[in-house]
Chain A
């Protein structure tokens, strides 16, 4: 047998799983502390964070994890955790707490097949409607999805910046097929990452914990600081952070929690839009199906079928400019790996719109061929 000796590779291409990129990206963008509780398919995120984050702890359960993180957040640290539906369910009350207290908290939700424990090692993009209803009262919780390998690097800093600057919990949405699959990545080509900006109170005026600035977000001071009293409150409260029962100022404060998201949404709106002149059909997708959809578009264009593709990262709140994009197309196909058509329902409601259909799947990835077939079927 003649042996071939390897020489040093000029390129820096490597086989890397999505979790590794996400955690490295978050560490570089300034995440301070990770608290984990094991759950498939978020375990790689947990194990990488233990090695990479400035601080990382193991919690005895997801409620504790989310509470510790909220405590860290109250002192000015940027906290991150990663979980899947069963763990997310336990965190739900604390996420509401952080929403009300206006504490930064980034939760990476690695979706798997449900309901309940479902199949831990099977992929799904099935938690979007759950996230749409996470906050009691129906207020919107920001959700940003990872839709490609590149997104594993580029999107986490957007989510971290949003949680830090807007003082709201943010969900970074991904799935088993991204966190546990490996892809070819040229690490030398990864763009540099800037640390996210943090909000601080620096005026000489009196500090009111929930008095918003022009962008509707209150300035931040950590609890324990020696200059100003800080009050954080998970119950309906006024600008001082004091419980008020149905007081107009307090209700205004509650309404502001969502208003601040819309007011600043443009800064955190990310999407992939590939429009082809002459196309009357728009493929809309998110999550792991984004990969199959982009491949389907290539196949369709090889067949001289004009097609446009829209893949939003920022899923919630829905930016107004999405509606303009959707309005340009008489025919829309939404491909997503769930049986109920969750993004389709968010964008078009249960009543839908003529010529809006879905390609859906339960328990298996949607293939490019299935999407091509749906486009060609008139």
Chain B
């Protein structure tokens, strides 16, 4: 294998004097030196002058989006069992895609990124990039870039890259590239060059390597001594368990046939942290265990541990289509926040409400009980639902208890305590 096995013999599409020529040829030379077959290599190119070189390569080529070549190459490389994946990017691509470079380094994706750093955007008129060094002049900043450029090597080394190097774009540097290509994990090579169209014209007195050195960019190799840091490889396990199997292996239980004759909408309103959603889920599952159809829909703000939490549960002897609730047949309201959200919906039906709350004037039949005081904020909704079941024979209480236990989010002892409290409540109610 030699260079010509990797590059077609045609003039490359770059301006005379552009360093991109050397990078392409040294890449081909390095791959040949490593004894690789062109079809073992995937070249992923970014947007920019360097990116149009792909048609000259005899490897697999993928020409993607601006700044994304490293991420695209990472996907390809981690899914391929063998071969070499190389991403060509410019300093502009490295600026827009810096997150991808950091992530490739951190996760040790098996690719080599070659950053063609000519210190500006060459294809679009010579705008400065994040890597453009301080003082460097471009058509847009003829007085020189006022702020420092990003040291991409230092950044990517710090992010955990196995191998990082900065080289000057002169002569034969294929040995350096071959070294980077041989790294099992992630490697990045920054090649300092100049753009003959925009860089040279505005910075005629200084060589690129002098500009780099003056900006504090050193030439060299930086390795992270990981030794055993794993290379990111995609592994596929086609025998993972179905999501339809119950995780605990338990069987669904049957609690007889429900006597419910019509669609019944139940609204459970409380606050975040009041186990509203999981209690509602248990109620819906309990209904299914009595042969009914059930649906459950939750409504809550984006906050996780604060604010209202409302669940809409539909129970029906027929399959359910629409899962919303306009005016509930039964509303269970256990907190002020919950009441605030559902107040306008409580115009009819049965309203079971915590005694600390003032129910709205409505045609609903109202039952007030001290759920919060008896069972704490966390379990008030469950206590209220158990109370509802005892009172209405909607479903057997046992079916709900079984589901609460099966869902496993409330310890059995806690459930037993709530049941004791339910007995207390019912006794008090009877006494009244």
Q: Which residue of A lies closest to B69 (CB)?
A: A67
Given contacts A232-B62, A243-B63, contact A64 B322 (CB under 8 A): no
Cα A77 to Cα B78 in complex, Å, equals 12
Binds B, one of A124-132, A160-168, A220-228, A340-348: A220-228
Contact of B398 among A6, A177, A227 (CB under 8 A): A6
Binds A, one of B130-138, B162-170, B177-185, B283-291: B283-291
Contact A184 B253 (CB under 8 A): no
Contact A226 B302 (CB under 8 A): no
Contact A72 B75 (CB under 8 A): yes
| Residue numbers in A under 8 Å from B293 (CB-CB) | 13, 184
Contact B236 A55 (CB under 8 A): yes
Contact A6 B402 (CB under 8 A): yes
Contact B72 A67 (CB under 8 A): yes
Given contacts A15-B285, A292-B322, A295-B322, contact A224 B83 (CB under 8 A): yes
| Residue numbers in B under 8 Å from A7 (CB-CB) | 253-254
Determine whether B175 belongs to the interface, using a CB cutoff of 8 Å to chain A. Answer: no
Determine whether B244 belongs to the interface, using a CB cutoff of 8 Å to chain A. Answer: yes
List B residues 42-91 near A (Cβ within 8 Å): 42, 52, 54-55, 58-65, 68, 71-80, 82-83
Contact A367 B322 (CB under 8 A): yes
Which of B236, B254, B284, B323 lies at the interface centre, i.e. has the most chain A CB atoms within 10 A of its CB?
B323
Determine whether B100 belongs to the interface, using a CB cutoff of 8 Å to chain A. Answer: yes
Given contacts A15-B284, A74-B76, contact A10 B254 (CB under 8 A): yes
Q: Tally A residues with Cβ within 8 Å of B.
A: 85
Determine whether A68 belongs to the interface, using a CB cutoff of 8 Å to chain B. Answer: yes
Given contacts A15-B284, A24-B243, A71-B76, contact A184 B63 (CB under 8 A): no
| Residue numbers in B under 8 Å from A27 (CB-CB) | 240, 243
Binds A, one of B33-41, B211-219, B365-373: B33-41
Determine whether B195 belongs to the interface, using a CB cutoff of 8 Å to chain A. Answer: no
Contact B321 A52 (CB under 8 A): no
| Residue numbers in B under 8 Å from A291 (CB-CB) | 321-323
Cα A98 to Cα B311 in complex, Å, equals 40
Given contacts A5-B398, A9-B252, A229-B58, contact A64 B244 (CB under 8 A): no
Contact B326 A3 (CB under 8 A): no
Determine whether B396 belongs to the interface, using a CB cutoff of 8 Å to chain A. Answer: yes
Contact A184 B252 (CB under 8 A): no
Contact A223 B60 (CB under 8 A): yes
Cα A373 to Cα B241 in complex, Å, equals 47
CB distance from A172 to the nearest CB of B (A): 17
Contact B253 A55 (CB under 8 A): no
Cα A126 to Cα B292 in complex, Å, equals 33
Cα A90 to Cα B319 in complex, Å, equals 39
Cα A369 to Cα B100 in complex, Å, equals 51
Q: Mark B83-111, 1 if CB is under 8 A from A, else 0.
A: 10000000000000001100100000000
Contact of A182 among B242, B289, B296 (CB under 8 A): B296
Contact A60 B103 (CB under 8 A): yes
Binds B, one of A233-241, A247-255, A300-308: A233-241
Cα A292 to Cα B321 in complex, Å, equals 6
Dominant secondary structure at the A interface: mixed
Determine whether A351 belongs to the interface, using a CB cutoff of 8 Å to chain B. Answer: no
Contact B64 A234 (CB under 8 A): yes
Determine whether A215 belongs to the interface, using a CB cutoff of 8 Å to chain B. Answer: no
Determine whether A183 belongs to the interface, using a CB cutoff of 8 Å to chain B. Answer: yes
Cα A20 to Cα B241 in complex, Å, equals 13
Q: Mark B385-410, 1 if CB is under 8 A from A, else 0.
A: 00000000000111100100000000
Cα A32 to Cα B79 in complex, Å, equals 11
List A residues 175-197 near B (Cβ within 8 Å): 177, 180-184, 187, 190
Contact B299 A187 (CB under 8 A): no
Which of A27, A51, A64, A67 lies at the interface centre, i.e. has the most chain B CB atoms within 10 A of its CB?
A67
Contact A64 B252 (CB under 8 A): no
Given contacts A6-B402, A15-B288, contact A71 B75 (CB under 8 A): yes
List A residues 353-371 near B (Cβ within 8 Å): 364-365, 367-369
Determine whether A116 belongs to the interface, using a CB cutoff of 8 Å to chain B. Answer: no
Contact A294 B321 (CB under 8 A): yes
Contact A8 B252 (CB under 8 A): yes
Cα A364 to Cα B37 in complex, Å, equals 60
Contact A223 B62 (CB under 8 A): yes
Contact of A4 among B99, B235, B298, B396 (CB under 8 A): B396
Contact of A180 among B242, B298, B402, B423 (CB under 8 A): B298
Determine whether B141 belongs to the interface, using a CB cutoff of 8 Å to chain A. Answer: no
Cα A119 to Cα B307 in complex, Å, equals 14
Which of B75, B298, B396, B398 lies at the interface centre, i.e. has the most chain A CB atoms within 10 A of its CB?
B75
Cα A190 to Cα B243 in complex, Å, equals 13
Q: Which residue of B lies closest to A76 (CB)?
A: B79
Contact B423 A1 (CB under 8 A): yes
Q: Which residue of A lies closest to B59 (CB)?
A: A229
Determine whether B294 belongs to the interface, using a CB cutoff of 8 Å to chain A. Answer: yes
Determine whether B421 belongs to the interface, using a CB cutoff of 8 Å to chain A. Answer: no
Contact B302 A13 (CB under 8 A): no
Contact of A6 among B52, B253, B294, B319 (CB under 8 A): B253
A-B contact pairs, 27 of them (CB 8 A): A6-B402, A8-B253, A9-B254, A20-B243, A40-B302, A48-B243, A55-B235, A60-B99, A67-B68, A67-B74, A69-B75, A71-B72, A71-B79, A72-B78, A74-B76, A77-B236, A177-B297, A184-B288, A184-B292, A223-B42, A224-B76, A228-B39, A231-B60, A234-B63, A234-B64, A234-B65, A292-B322
User: Given contacts A184-B294, A225-B60, A234-B63, could you give 10 more A-B pairs where the C-beta distance is less than 8 Å?
Assistant: A9-B252, A13-B252, A57-B234, A71-B72, A120-B302, A177-B297, A181-B295, A182-B295, A229-B60, A367-B322
